[in-house]
Amino acid sequence: MWLLVKGGVLKLGKVFRLPSWQRLKPLLVGGAAVQLRALALNMVFLAVTRKTQALDETGILAAAHAITIQLWQLGGVVLFGISGAAAVMVPSELGKSDGGKESARALANRLLAWGLLTGVALGFAQLAFLPLLPIFSPLPEVQKAAAMPSILGAALQTINGLVFIGEGIMQGTGSFRFLAGSTLVATAGMLLSLDVLAKPVAAGGLGLNGVWACFFVFNAIRLAAVALFHLKIGPLAVRNLGRSTSTAS
């Protein structure tokens, strides 16, 4: 606080003054969209946990799911890091006077390429961890139940690489409402697919494998939204490079 006051960034006389509606509106609109997206993501993981616990009474499938999702989210930490970098680097590039949107699009393309490569690398790394499943659980039944979901999770990392970085680019261009809307659509697809695919095997479903197949539905919808945004309707789409960022978004 002392450094902010000393640098003139913060003026004590204006600390307790309410901001104008013009300044507050973008924060409220963007913040509401971000919170809506976070709510949708939490709803997905709560629904997945609920569905997994209801698959059997022994707890074997729930334990296998816990192991698989830990390995899967470990790779997600890396991809979320790149996504956060994209959310900062893209607007920084947009603010430059030389290059502007063309250089920001080139940067976004590089970040998406790095996301794809990182996702593939994380997928192979997760596959390499499969022989280590006995470390997570000594029960052969849990190890066997976790094998196929872990393979599906490894395949998902490739999609995750593009999805997370693409959504980071959306945040960087301030396209929060499109990001929240696409997440809500993906959430609806996930919840519907859980009712169809994630039934117990005895009831004609795919069991735990079906739960992880539903993640493909969830992330495939998000990937389609990223492709639509980046290639067609986003401010960094080729046909929108000549327009202002606010108009295109």
SS3 of 50-79: HHHHCCCCCCHHHHHHHHHHHHHHHHHHHH
* Residue 158 maps to a domain: yes
Please check whether residue 193 lies inside any domain of the structure.
yes
- Grouping H, G, I as helix, E, B as strand and the rest as coil, residue 154 is helix
Average pLDDT along the chain: 85
Whether 48 has a pLDDT exceeding 70, the answer reads yes
pLDDT of residue 240: 75
Residue 170 placed within a domain: yes
- The count of residues in the chain is 249
Residue 233 located in a structural domain:
yes
The pLDDT score that the predictor gives to residue 231 is 92
Burial 2-27 (b: 16+ CB within 10 A, else e): eeeeeeeeeeeeeeeeeeeeeeeeee
Q: What is the pTM of this model?
A: 0.82
Q: Which residue has the higher pLDDT, 169 or 132?
A: 169
Tell whether 18 is covered by a domain: no
The domain in which residue 68 lies consists of 32-248
| Average pLDDT for 151-177 | 90
Over range 61-65, report the average pLDDT. 88
Identity of the residue numbered 214:
C
Residue 16 has a pLDDT of: 66
Averaged over 59-82, what is the pLDDT?
85
First-to-final CA distance of the chain: 35
How far is it, in rounded angstroms, from Cα 61 to Cα 142? 7
pLDDT for the residue numbered 247: 39
State the DSSP code for 173.
Answer: T
The 10s digit of each residue's pLDDT in 87-131 is 889 988 887 766 678 888 999 999 999 999 999 999 998 888 888
With respect to residue 22, please indicate whether it lies within any of the assigned structural domains. no
Residue 202: per-residue pLDDT: 74
Give the pLDDT of residue 246.
43
Task: Give the HSE-up count for residue 204: Cα atoms under 13 Å, Cβ half-sphere.
Answer: 2
**Residue 1: inside a domain, yes or no?**
no
Task: Note whether 187 and 40 are within 8 A (CB).
Answer: yes
Query: Given this model, what pLDDT does residue 119 score?
Result: 92
Q: What is the pLDDT of residue 163?
A: 93
Number of domains in the chain: 1
The number of beta carbons lying within 10 Å of the beta carbon of residue 124 is 12
In a domain, 146, yes or no: yes
CA distance 108 to 106: 5
